[in-house]
Amino acid sequence: MGLSSFLWNCTKKFATAAVITVTVSDRFASVVPVRGGSMSPTLNPKSGSQMGDFFDDYVLVEKFCLGTYKFSNGDVVVFRSPMNHKETLIKRIVALPGEWCGDHYNHDVIQIPPGHCWVEGDNADSSMDSRLFGPIPLGLIRGSVTHVVWPPHRIGAVEKKTPPQGLSSVLE
């Protein structure tokens, strides 16, 4: 009787912890891995040993911003790819609804429609972003990246920097 009681108590505690973990990661925050070099050097900087080697950063994604869709230029966000909803991408917001955004490569200038934003990777040569698929709906965003939590030598806040993507920078 003692062993079955012990197992039942362990099972209840494990199930409770699992429900709490799922709720927290779904509603408040989660930790996600960053793959590839599209956000290098901000995320996954090159390790230096070989040209193609990147560290795999793990980042903290807070989800409080989803309640009001309050984002600002320079925020690094996690979102579902508009081309493949099973794929998750991490990019930096360059322009918000109503703002004008320019593409340095073909000098197109567009106004971001309501409910959308323009996202780009920090490493333009290795990034599939809004230059390929256009503005993304804000509803595809799953959270805002705030900190690198792994590896230990990279722990810290993710810098919020605003790239010069305004209309004046394209016309120069």
Q: What is the pLDDT of residue 18?
A: 63
**DSSP conformation letters of 24-81:** HHHHTEEEEE--SSTTTTTSS-B-SSSTT-B---EEEEE-GGGGTT---TT-EEEEE-
Residue 77 lies in a domain: yes
CA dihedral (100, 102, 106, 107) positive or negative: positive
* Better-scored residue on pLDDT, 26 or 64: 64
Residue 58 lies in a domain: yes
Does the predicted TM-score (pTM) go above 0.95? Answer: no
Which amino acid type is present at position 32? V
Per residue in 3-19, pLDDT (tens digit) is 778 888 878 777 776 66
Residue 9 lies in a domain: no
The residue from 38, 40, 127, 144 that is catalytic is 38
How many domains in the chain? 1
DSSP state letter for 154: G
- Arithmetic mean of pLDDT, 107-117: 89
Percent of residues, the chain, with pLDDT higher than 90:
33
Q: What is the pLDDT of residue 171?
A: 44
Residue 20 lies in a domain: no
Other residues' Cβ atoms within 10 Å of the Cβ of residue 10: 10
What's the domain range around 112?
Answer: 31-160
Q: What is the pLDDT of residue 124?
A: 84
Instruction: Clarify whether 91 is annotated catalytic.
Output: yes
Other residues' Cβ atoms within 10 Å of the Cβ of residue 72: 11
Residue 11 lies in a domain: no
The residue from 91, 127, 130, 144 that is catalytic is 91
**CATH number assigned to the domain comprising residue 65:** 2.10.109.10
Per residue in 84-103, pLDDT (tens digit) is 989 999 999 999 999 998 76
Residues 44, 34 contacting (CB under 8 angstroms): yes
